């Protein structure tokens, strides 16, 4: 028999409440009183540095310039925020296959969900705002 550590308030398990392993109270105690998982949001500078470290790989996909924008570029991204990216490219070396490959490579390298598009494909109503806030990385 173990005892639940901590208190959940009125009516909840208290430190003096015995719990039996396998009983729902034991599971509740483990869930309620575990240390919270703290995830650090990767900073804009860290993102830029990691992309620049892979510049040759990015260019191998046919990208001639790479920009980040959105919440992570502004520095107010959360742990669940994706990274918004658009690229300029050499049309003779760039296709949908390269676009998907580049998006996958960036997602793996940064350990983030990446939304990758091309400069030409930016939505016309949002294009000027995106261009104003975009940060050129490569």
Check whether domain 44-136 has CATH 1.20.20.10, yes or no: no
How much of the chain exceeds pLDDT 70, in percent? Answer: 71
Report the range of poorest mean pLDDT among 88-97, 107-116, 127-136. 88-97
pLDDT surpasses 80 at 71 = yes
pLDDT for 93 equals 87
pLDDT surpasses 90 at 31 = no
Token code pair at residue 120? 């030409």
pLDDT surpasses 70 at 63 = yes
Q: How confident is the model at residue 35 (pLDDT cuts 50, 70, 90)?
A: low
CA dist 9 and 12 (Å) reads: 6
Contact, 15 vs 3, CB < 8 A? Answer: yes
Contact, 11 vs 37, CB < 8 A? Answer: no
Q: What is the mean pLDDT of the chain?
A: 82
Name the pTM for this structure. 0.70
Domain range list for the chain: 44-136
CA dist 106 and 71 (Å) reads: 17
Three-class SS state of 118: strand
User: How many contiguous H segments (helices) and E segments (strands) does the chain have?
Assistant: 6, 6
How far is the CA of 18 from the CAs of 31, 32, 34, 98, 122, in angstroms?
16, 15, 18, 59, 60
CA dist 13 and 7 (Å) reads: 6
């Amino acid at each position: 028999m173990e005892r639940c550590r901590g208190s959940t308030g009125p009516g909840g398990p208290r430190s003096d409440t015995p719990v039996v392993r396998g009983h729902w109270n034991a599971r509740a105690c483990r869930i309620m009183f575990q240390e919270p998982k703290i995830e650090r949001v990767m900073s804009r500078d860290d993102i830029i540095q990691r992309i620049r470290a892979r510049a040759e790989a990015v260019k191998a996909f046919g990208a001639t310039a790479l920009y980040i924008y959105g919440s992570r570029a502004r520095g107010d991204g959360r742990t669940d925020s994706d990274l918004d990216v658009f690229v300029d490219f050499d049309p003779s070396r760039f296709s949908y296959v390269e676009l998907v490959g580049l998006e996958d490579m960036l997602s793996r390298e940064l350990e983030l969900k990446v939304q990758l598009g091309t400069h030409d494909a930016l939505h016309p109503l949002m294009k000027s705002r995106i261009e104003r806030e975009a940060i050129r990385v490569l």
